[in-house]
Amino acid sequence: MRVNKIRLHWVQIPLHEPFRISSGAVAVKDAILVELESAGVTGWGEASPMAGAFYSSETPEGSWEFLVQQLVPAFLGRPELDPQRCFERFAEFPGQPFAKAGLEGAVWDLHAQECSQPLWALLGGTSRALPSGAAIGLMPTVADLLSRVERFLGEGYRRIKIKIEPGQDVELVRAIRERFGDIPLMVDANAAYRREHFAVFDELDRHGLMMIEQPLAREALEEHAELQRRLKTPICLDESAESLEAIQKIIRLGSGRILNIKVQRMGGLWPARQAHDAAQAAGIPCWLGTMPELGVASAQGLHLGTLPNFTYPTDVEASARWYVDDIIAPPIEVGRDGLIALPEGPGLGYRVDPEKIARYRIRYREFST
Ligand SMILES: [Mg+2]
C-alpha cells in the first residue's frame, strides 16, 4: 500500500480561560494535525504540544520542524502502515514523542478505517463509555475554586482534581471537604514539592484523597518511593511516567501505586498500550491523562482508555470545557452521568471538520510521493 499524501495543519484554538498550573499559564491551544492519505482513505493524527514547553520540553515549533524536516520525509521514503511497528521505526530518531504520536495516530486511524473497525477494537479495548474527571487549575481565591467544583459536580464529572502548589494545598482540600463532603477528590502538584514539604503530604493524607498526583520532581523516583511508604493515599506518577523504561523503574522502586499514561508523551498509542500492559502486569492501575489535546488526539486516547487497566476516570473532558471550538464533529461530550460514550463507526468514530481546520490554521505543508 502506498501513501499518496501527507498534509500537516498547525491550528490554534483559543481557550475559554487561561490554563494555570504551578509552572505557568497558557491562553491558546496549539496542535499539529497530521492528515495521511492512502488509496482513497484518510487517516488523522494529532501532535499536541502546548506552547512554551508547558508540560514537557516539546513545543509546537519544535514538533513542526521535526515533522517537516525529518519524520514525514523519512516516512514517505519508506512508509510503515502497520501501526504496531511505527514506534519501533521512529526510534531511529531520538526524542520528539509528540510528533511521533501525531503521525502514528494517523496510521492507526487509516488502518482502522481500512479494516472497517473502531479503533478501540484494534487496540485491544472494549466497547465501553469512559468516566470523565474535571481538572481545575489554580484559582485566584478559594471561593472561585469552590464555585468551580460545584459547577463540575453539577455537570456530572466523576471526580474532581485540583492543582496545588506550596502555600496553596491543604487549605484548598479542607475547604472542598467542608463544603462538598466525601466527593471523589484528588490533587495534582505537577512536581512542585520537595522533601522539605513532606509534612504537607502527611496533612493531605488525612483527607481521604483518591490519589496525590506527581508531588515531587520528575526524576525523584527514590524520594517518591520514600514518600509513598509514609502515606496511605496512593501516589500517582504523571511527569515521571515519561517512557517505558521510566515506568519499569517506578514499578521496581515502588515510587507510586497509580500511573497517569499520556499517549503524546509515550510517543503514540502502541507504546502507551505497552505502558498500560506493564502496569497491569505489576498490579498498578492507570488512567488516561491529557496534555490536553484537541478532538483527534483526545478521541484516540479515549479509544485506548477502554483497555481494562484504565480503572480511574480520565482527564479527557468535554471539548467545550477548555476550547471555544474543536476540529471534530460531534465534539467530545460528557453525559449527565459523567461518562463519555464513543460514537459508533470505524476509526475514530468522530468526523474531522475541514472547514474548522481552515478557520484555525496558522501554518500548512503538503507532501506528495
Ligand atoms: Mg498531572
pLDDT at 2: 86
The closest alpha carbon to 42, from 110, 94, 101, belongs to 110
Q: Count structural domains, the chain.
A: 2
CATH number assigned to the domain comprising residue 137? 3.20.20.120
CA distance 342 to 118: 10
Shared domain check, 245 and 127: yes
Condensed to tens digits (0 to 9), the pLDDT of residues 163-213 reads: 999 999 999 999 999 999 999 999 999 999 999 999 999 999 999 999 999
299 is in which domain, residue-wise?
122-340
Condensed to tens digits (0 to 9), the pLDDT of residues 209-250 reads: 999 999 999 999 999 999 999 999 999 999 999 999 999 999
Q: How confident is the model at residue 55 (pLDDT cuts 50, 70, 90)?
A: low
Q: Hey, which residues are catalytic here?
A: 163, 262
Burial of 345 (0-12, 13-18, 19+ CB in 10 A): middle
What's the gap in Å between 89 CA and the centre of ligand 1?
A: 29
The amino acid that residue 48 corresponds to is S
Shared domain check, 358 and 278: no
Q: Is residue 244 part of a domain?
A: yes
Shared domain check, 260 and 158: yes
Shared domain check, 293 and 145: yes
Shared domain check, 137 and 110: no
Condensed to tens digits (0 to 9), the pLDDT of residues 115-146 reads: 999 999 999 999 999 999 999 988 999 999 99
Residue-by-residue DSSP string for 162-180: EE-BTTBSHHHHHHHHHHH
What's the gap in Å between 313 CA and the centre of ligand 1?
A: 13
What's the gap in Å between 39 CA and the centre of ligand 1?
A: 40
What's the gap in Å between 361 CA and the centre of ligand 1?
A: 28
